Amino acid sequence: MATVTATRAAGSRLAGIRSSQVQVNGAAFRVLEQGQGPAVLFCHGFPDTAETWRSQMHAVAAAGYRAVALDMRGYGGSHAPAEADLYSAPHIAGDLVGLLDALTIPSAVIVGHDWGAEHGWRAMLMRPDRFRAMVSLSIPYAPRGELSHWEQLREQGLGERYYAFDMMKPDAERRFEPAGQTIPGILYWLSASAPAGARWNPVDPALHMLRPAPVAVPGWADPGYVAHNIKAFEASGFRGGLNYYRAAQATFDLMPAFKNMVIRQPCLYIYGAADGLADVFHPTPPALAELRRAAPGLVDCIRLENVGHWIQHEAADRVNAELVAFLDAIGPPSEGGGRG
């Protein structure tokens, strides 16, 4: 259950957002909440924290929904086991279901970005009774096939070039330090603020994400958000976040029963055209019919021009509008669940 002592997040930057430590399956997770109504569960990616969702939380709370965001396993103020295999999709889905249980929420709509989106898709498969819809930022749904994602990349000759293989090396944590340099760099180089020819490219090691940024804070980023994340990673290090990459093979190995399964719940996919991952996932802009083969519940695919990886920040107003419109369109849970 949620700890009795819930602290008000400092400053107007997080006005109206309640912060607490919640016990989830015997482990502590840092959770932000705002608003009342059908629940919307926000899941961040790498390297990030729940603070990334403040604009979206304000928007959905104002529209009559209960916004819940957590520092995901391994991040910030949440449970951070050392073993990489404890970051597989079944473990993350267990965290999300356990959080709903702790907050007495019957079902929720997931909003995920980056690894939060990837694990959101898997949670939708594993527990359709608890996750009734999803909005994915940056990551399309890909069903489990015969080969793991890593095996597919190696077959394509990208085993030495694709960035994620570098993230799994034993010295990766050290290379991501100090956070005061790497966090601003990752925000800048993965965004549309960087010049087109110099942006992060996931298949070009020369255009890696750990280059020093020419600015301390990109123009689209809240300085308070950047400062919070720097402080969080200075305290926790990067092992938890990097373990998501290391656990991807474990996820594949643990989920043979979900091979070729499709997403039938309503879902919305939004991505930035200037995101380095867009060229990997979509060498040409995808047709809605193509994406619906894997996700028949897909309502729309929205491509945002001149927007990079940090879509919830770079295009906050557009994302918020699309998110609220999607929530309103699917309506509340059929039996009134999800109200807190």
Which residue out of 48, 71, 95, 114 is catalytically annotated?
114
Torsion (CA) 98, 104, 110, 111 in degrees, nearest 10? -100
309 is catalytic: yes
Burial 278-292 (b: 16+ CB within 10 A, else e): beeebeeebeeeebb
> CB under 8 Å to 148, separation ≥6 — which residues?
248, 249, 252
The beta-carbon contacts of 191-197 under 8 Å, at least 24 apart in sequence, are 191/218, 191/220, 191/274, 191/308, 191/309, 191/310, 191/314, 192/272, 192/274, 192/306, 192/307, 192/308, 192/314, 193/218, 193/219, 193/220, 193/308, 194/308, 196/274
Give the span between the Cα atoms of 243 and 190, in whole angstroms: 20
188 is catalytic: no
Give the span between the Cα atoms of 81 and 74, in whole angstroms: 7
Which residue out of 58, 79, 228, 309 is catalytically annotated?
309
Which residue out of 163, 245, 269, 271 is catalytically annotated?
245
114 is catalytic: yes
CB atoms within 10 A of CB 106: 18
Give the span between the Cα atoms of 214 and 225, in whole angstroms: 18
Contact, 234 vs 180, CB < 8 A? yes
Structural tokens at position 282: 């979509």
Catalytic residues: 114, 245, 309
